[in-house]
Chain A
Amino acid sequence: MYATRITRHLMWALPLLALCLSAYADTPANRPAGGPPFAQWPCHSYTHPCGEIPTRPAVSAQMPSDLEGDPDRGRALAHNRSKGNCLTCHMMQGGAQGGTVAPDLSQYATWGRSTEEIYARIHDQRAFIAGTVMPPFGTNEILTEQEIMDIVSYLKNSR
């Protein structure tokens, strides 16, 4: 009796845990000099210097001409929770449990957007829509130029 009740509670809350830990990327790069995680990004503190860090302004990025994207790597990156994690908000080709926050990108290649524009939007969607909820993946160094190129190529192949 006791045990089944406890188990029922356990089952219910598992997705919650998954959410809270999914995007947790406490990597060495996010822990400069062994300090607290994410201290190089704007935070809520009144005393720690991160409380004074301004938001990085929106950037209209130029696509690097010397990089080739790989659609398979791009798909993996876009679906990976600690990398692009685009599925949190978007539906995408080959992705399960896509989010309903943002436009469905499953057939994005048919939208007629240029490669340059897609690159710039992933780099920093704020340059197109001020106040967007989409993270500025390039400006805030969540993804490298090469990783963005890979995702662009995956989207260019989504039809």
Chain B
Amino acid sequence: MYTHNRIGAQTKRARVGGVLAAIALAAGAGTVAAQQGGAQEYVPFDDIDPTLGYRADMEFSGTVRYWKDEETLRQYLSWVGDPENEWKLNYKHRDLEYDDLHGGHFYLEEGEEAFRKLSERHPEFPRCVGWGETDLVGAATRYPRHDSETNTIVTLESRIEHCAKAIAEQEIPQGSPGNTRLALYVKSLSHGMPINMEIGQPELRMAYERGKGLFYRKVGQFNFACATCHSPGTPVMGQRLRGQVSTTPFAFAAHFPTYRSARGTVETLQTRIGLCSRQMRVMPLRPGDPAYVDLEVFLTALSNGYPIVSPGVR
């Protein structure tokens, strides 16, 4: 079960002390010597306790008090459309539209159908996606997870790709519409259940630290970090960028794969990171790239404990 335990956090911190110390150094100096002699710039790190999950936002942006649950969201619905305040809802008011019919429901139906067909022909397929369990209710809450056999970090999308290949001898690469539809269906089986990635697991914790490093590192032609727009430590978060206001990065993972009404497609967390990288003029990486897996682990840790909304819409 997910618990928030500050004493536990201290010991875990000590265990990954090496990584943390290196990163803290980077934050302190503002730059860190890269392996090949140059310097890389960072946005100063925020002191986030990842064992707190989305609740850590209380000491971060504090906006979690407005979007922490459905009842609270409904109290602040009058903020929708008000640029000064809407961003404080973290756009979670859109999650209330889960019951409304939107494009995500079409994809979900297709995903369910595809999943059923695959499972009929290959009864081992669901067990593979469920990590040994055939009941997939709740399965999505545990991803990304560490696979000790291959010593890799596995996201729901990469697991589906792996299982399709290993069991059905089918290529369903992550990032493809076929993979995303299946992932959407599996995720929807956990609708309403809190995300429960095992952040205490050492390899996941290391991936979290690496992902954090990437999130705060300035990259691209514009010299932006993700944190430039998504950290309250900079002047950008909560301010208007033309018509848009960026929000706290907490609980981002809850609604992915999400239906993007503007694009008319369902996108995964990693396709979204790739799209926004272009906006930052940074070379986008392929879904499943180890750097994006680390970013996904970082963002999922910041979503731990928050209920999944699937099919989500933005």
A interface residues (Cβ-Cβ under 8 A, vs B): 2, 5-6, 9-10, 12-26, 30, 36-39, 41-48, 50-55, 57, 87-89, 97-102, 130-131, 133, 135-136, 140-142
Residues of A within 8 A of B94 (CB): 12
In the bound assembly, the distance between CA atoms of A13 and B91 in angstroms comes to: 11
B interface residues (Cβ-Cβ under 8 A, vs A): 30-31, 34-41, 43-44, 94, 97, 100-103, 214, 217-224, 228, 234-236, 239-244, 260-263, 275-285, 289-292, 295, 313-314
In the bound assembly, the distance between CA atoms of A24 and B214 in angstroms comes to: 21
In the bound assembly, the distance between CA atoms of A88 and B219 in angstroms comes to: 18
Dominant SS at the A interface?
loop
On whether the beta carbons of A9 and B102 are closer than 8 Å, the reply is: yes
Residues of B within 8 A of A88 (CB): 241-242
On whether the beta carbons of B220 and A10 are closer than 8 Å, the reply is: no
Given contacts A20-B276, A41-B221, A99-B242, contact A2 B281 (CB under 8 A): no
On whether the beta carbons of B241 and A39 are closer than 8 Å, the reply is: no
On whether the beta carbons of B100 and A5 are closer than 8 Å, the reply is: yes
On whether the beta carbons of B100 and A22 are closer than 8 Å, the reply is: no
| 24 residue pairs bridging A and B, Cβ less than 8 Å apart | A5-B101, A6-B103, A9-B103, A16-B262, A17-B260, A19-B243, A20-B279, A24-B279, A36-B284, A38-B221, A41-B219, A41-B220, A44-B214, A44-B217, A44-B219, A44-B285, A45-B291, A53-B38, A55-B41, A99-B240, A131-B41, A133-B235, A140-B221, A141-B221
Residue of A nearest to B34 (CB): A54
Partner of A16 from B101, B221, B234, B244 at Cβ < 8 Å: B244
On whether the beta carbons of A10 and B262 are closer than 8 Å, the reply is: yes
On whether the beta carbons of B279 and A43 are closer than 8 Å, the reply is: no
On whether the beta carbons of B221 and A55 are closer than 8 Å, the reply is: no
On whether the beta carbons of B38 and A43 are closer than 8 Å, the reply is: no
Residues of A within 8 A of B30 (CB): 130-131
Residue of A nearest to B43 (CB): A131
Closest-CB distance, B203 to chain A (whole angstroms): 15
Which A-B residue pairs are the 10 nearest by beta carbons?
A54-B38, A17-B262, A9-B261, A13-B262, A13-B261, A55-B41, A135-B222, A43-B283, A44-B291, A101-B239
On whether the beta carbons of A135 and B223 are closer than 8 Å, the reply is: yes
On whether the beta carbons of A22 and B220 are closer than 8 Å, the reply is: no
Most chain B Cβ neighbours within 10 Å, of A44, A51, A99, A140? A44
In the bound assembly, the distance between CA atoms of A126 and B301 in angstroms comes to: 32
Residues of B within 8 A of A22 (CB): 242, 279
Residue of A nearest to B275 (CB): A20
In the bound assembly, the distance between CA atoms of A46 and B213 in angstroms comes to: 12
Partner of B236 from A17, A44, A45, A101 at Cβ < 8 Å: A101
Additional A-B contacts beyond A9-B97, A42-B40, A44-B291 (10; CB < 8 A): A10-B261, A12-B94, A42-B219, A42-B220, A44-B277, A46-B290, A52-B35, A52-B38, A54-B36, A131-B44
On whether the beta carbons of B239 and A100 are closer than 8 Å, the reply is: yes
In the bound assembly, the distance between CA atoms of A135 and B44 in angstroms comes to: 17
Residue of B nearest to A139 (CB): B223
Residues of B within 8 A of A43 (CB): 219-220, 277, 282-283, 285
Partner of B314 from A6, A13, A41, A141 at Cβ < 8 Å: A13
Residues of A within 8 A of B222 (CB): 23, 135, 140, 142
Closest-CB distance, B16 to chain A (whole angstroms): 18
